[in-house]
């Protein structure tokens, strides 16, 4: 009986341990849900009604091509990286659509994918593509939210529209063809296939990456045969036309990269926006079943796992496969995706390799989600995250001073991020497993649409293997962490005939970042002593002295004293165009106005006392500006800051 009881307890303990392990495991459905949220954060133009990011609003509505994704933590749009990303996302859905649907994310996934594909259709300029949209130089020097980008650009450069270029870069053309061919496989939209065919023909005809435009400074495309090899496989899959595989044999395979000082096909390095060799090899192996290409894929995946031919990718001391300092998690996630696809196709009958590559995938993803010596999850919004992320929109910065973000030192500048950038895959650790948690450490804290591409596609495969579901309370609606509109003031002078004040009207909005055209504020004062001295409100004057926007459309006016109730009156200072108070820089996020309320010069002293004035509560004389809720601010008739008397 005791033996039976002991055995039962052992079974119970084992079962309980399994339950705890299951409960503590990563929810890949949640991770995919959040990764798709990141892509919605990156949306440019007029946002679709299915966008769930409560702190985003329309931006760059007048771009030459509307829509698309911002590339990274800045506001450029590159067709190259949008096409690369869209292809990988389409591939993930093509392979694992049933798993995505089971997790309840099929519609959300397709919406985000279609957003990019529709942009690529518009980018097709007939033999060329729109390469880059964005203001070179300005974009990387200014730090702010996309919703107010155009206003700052106009102020800084005089331009109303963002520049763009049209390029014939073969890599950009081929990747656009790949994306739309893969998109056709998902959506069966004939227009996608039509554009894919023409873009492929243009890429195949051009075979030249000289014409890259602005893209070259940020994403310099090198060789193009890998992109053509990749695109040809997608075209074959979309059309079934053997000519695409024949061209692989005749033109692209002879140009497959080789190992240094060797005649062996290259199996080192990794799949990314500028190297599609191994991804193309995998597609070709799947499409043809040829053993030499199955072997090529194995060599590459072994290089990333157990090593091949005396070569093996570097690993951090705590276990992450580490290729390169820029976006180390990105390269690893891309390889995980290739490993999963290969395991499901060309190695499906090889249990040893299938196990090897799937275990590699699980271990690397565990690392991403926090199973590392630092206990850091590089997937934002899941687990213990770094303090910083290099992303303008998520910061909610209003004064263009971003250097203090994430700092524990209060230097008077913003240190707290406005938003959680759910689902973004941060750049990742250094080769020694350390992580430089600083906003200016781009290699570690940058995020980008291409960083999330292979990660997102691989999550689809991880859901198939390990399950996962969405969480019902996501995304949470964010509430402001600080006042979005506020007033501060000081007393320049306070005599027995008048009060003169300096006031800042401030816009620190980030939920979403926005400007207000009909902006005003009220200053309240008590005239009891004036009435006792025999005066009325009609004897009191109000005038603006100096103001920041005296020479532009924001010029402010001041009203006559208006009764609020009893002996309490107010003057309203209204901006001609309140949009001049905008969260775009140190000199724009606040507008300074100095004004005087009291009796005209020559009035006998003693009939004015500011000490009982409602709006003077807590104010100090001199230059020390004090935040005050007793000066109220309005959007039209709506109170947006302060407390009325």
Instruction: Give me the active site residues, please.
Output: 74, 390, 437, 446
Cα three-residue angle 526-527-528, rounded to 5 degrees? 100
Is the Cα torsion angle 462, 101, 79, 445 positive or negative in sign? negative
Contact 174, 252 (CB under 8 A): no
Q: Positive or negative, the Cα torsion across 413, 419, 424, 430?
A: positive
Are the CB atoms for 150 and 115 separated by under 8 Å? no
Take residue 494 and report the two structure tokens written for it. 């306070």
- What gap in Å lies between CA 546 and CA 564, rounded to an integer? 26
Closest CA to 192 of 258, 133, 110: 110
Residue with structure tokens 């966008």?
A: 51
Three-class SS of residue 155? helix
| Secondary structure (3-state) at 485 | strand
Token pair of 290, please?
Answer: 């040829």
Phi and psi (nearest 5°) for 213?
60, -145
Across-strand partners of 500? 493, 596
Any long-range contacts for 598-603 (C-beta under 8 Å, 24+ apart)? 598/495, 598/497, 598/498, 598/499, 598/540, 598/541, 599/497, 599/498, 599/530, 599/535, 599/539, 599/540, 599/541, 600/541, 601/497, 603/497, 603/539
Number of other residues whose CB lies within 10 A of the CB of residue 111:
15
Whole-angstrom Cα distance, residue 321 to residue 332? Answer: 6
User: What is the distance between the alpha carbons of residues 302 and 71, in angstroms, rounded to a whole number?
Assistant: 32
Closest CA to 42 of 74, 90, 84: 74
DSSP string, 547-561: ETTTTSTT-EEEPPP
Handedness of CA 224, 230, 236, 241 (dihedral sign): positive
Distance CA 354, CA 296 (A): 15
């Amino acid at each position: 009986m005791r033996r039976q009881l002991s055995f039962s307890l052992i079974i119970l303990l084992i079962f309980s341990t399994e339950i705890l392990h299951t409960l503590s495991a990563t929810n890949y459905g949640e991770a995919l849900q959040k990764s798709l949220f990141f892509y919605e954060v990156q949306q440019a133009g007029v946002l679709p009604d299915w966008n769930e990011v409560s702190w985003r609003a329309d931006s760059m509505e007048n771009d030459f091509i509307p829509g698309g994704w911002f590339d990274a933590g800045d506001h450029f749009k590159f067709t190259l990286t949008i096409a690369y990303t869209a292809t990988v996302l389409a591939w993930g859905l093509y392979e694992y659509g049933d798993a995505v649907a089971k997790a309840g994310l099929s519609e959300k996934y397709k919406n985000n994918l279609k957003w990019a594909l529709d942009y690529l259709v518009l980018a097709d300029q007939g033999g060329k593509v729109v390469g880059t949209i964005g203001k070179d130089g300005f974009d990387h020097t200014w730090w702010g939210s996309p919703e107010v980008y155009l206003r700052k650009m106009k102020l800084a450069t005089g331009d109303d529209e963002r520049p763009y270029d049209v390029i014939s870069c073969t890599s950009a053309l081929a990747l656009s063809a790949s994306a739309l061919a893969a998109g056709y496989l998902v959506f069966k939209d004939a227009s996608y296939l039509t554009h894919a065919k023409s873009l492929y023909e243009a890429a195949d005809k051009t075979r030249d990456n000289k014409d890259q435009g602005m893209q070259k400074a940020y994403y310099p495309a090198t060789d193009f045969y890998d992109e053509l090899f990749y695109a040809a496989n997608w075209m074959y899959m979309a059309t079934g036309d053997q000519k695409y595989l024949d061209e692989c044999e005749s033109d692209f395979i002879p140009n497959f990269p080789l190992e240094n000082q060797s005649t062996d096909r290259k199996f080192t390095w990794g799949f990314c926006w500028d190297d599609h060799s191994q991804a193309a090899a995998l597609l070709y192996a799947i499409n043809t079943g040829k053993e030499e290409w199955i072997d090529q894929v194995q060599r590459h995946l072994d290089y990333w796992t157990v090593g091949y031919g005396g070569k093996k990718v570097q690993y951090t001391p705590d276990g992450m496969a580490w290729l390169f300092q820029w976006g180390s998690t990105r390269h690893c996630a891309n390889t995980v995706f290739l490993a999963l696809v290969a395991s499901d196709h060309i190695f499906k009958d090889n249990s040893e390799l299938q196990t090897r590559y799937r275990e590699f995938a699980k271990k690397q993803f565990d690392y991403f989600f926090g199973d590392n010596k630092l206990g850091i999850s590089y997937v934002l919004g899941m687990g213990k995250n770094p303090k910083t992320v290099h992303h303008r929109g998520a910061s909610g910065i209003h004064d263009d001073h971003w250097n203090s973000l994430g700092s524990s030192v209060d230097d008077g500048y913003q240190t707290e991020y406005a938003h959680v950038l759910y689902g973004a895959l941060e750049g990742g650790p250094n080769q020694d497993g350390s992580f430089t948690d600083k906003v200016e450490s781009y290699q570690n804290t940058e995020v980008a649409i291409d960083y999330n591409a292979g990660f997102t596609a691989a999550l689809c495969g991880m859901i198939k293997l390990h399950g996962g579901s969405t969480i019902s309370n996501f995304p949470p609606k964010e509430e402001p962490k600080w006042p979005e509109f506020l007033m501060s003031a000081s007393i320049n002078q306070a005599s027995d005939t008048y009060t003169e004040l300096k006031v800042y009207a401030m816009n620190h909005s980030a939920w979403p970042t926005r400007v207000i055209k009909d902006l005003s504020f009220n200053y309240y004062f008590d005239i009891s002593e004036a009435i006792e001295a025999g005066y009325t409100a009609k004897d009191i004057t109000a005038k603006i002295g100096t103001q920041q926007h005296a020479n532009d459309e924001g010029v402010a006016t001041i009203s006559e004293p208006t009764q609020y109730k009893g002996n309490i009156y107010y003057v309203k200072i209204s901006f001609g165009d309140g949009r001049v108070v905008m969260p775009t820089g140190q000199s724009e996020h606040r507008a300074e106005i100095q004004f005087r309320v009291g009796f005209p010069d020559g009035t006998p002293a003693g009939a004015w006392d500011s000490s009982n004035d409602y709006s003077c509560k807590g104010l100090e004389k001199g230059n020390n500006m004090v935040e005050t809720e007793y000066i109220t601010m309005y959007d039209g008739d709506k109170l947006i800051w302060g407390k009325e008397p």
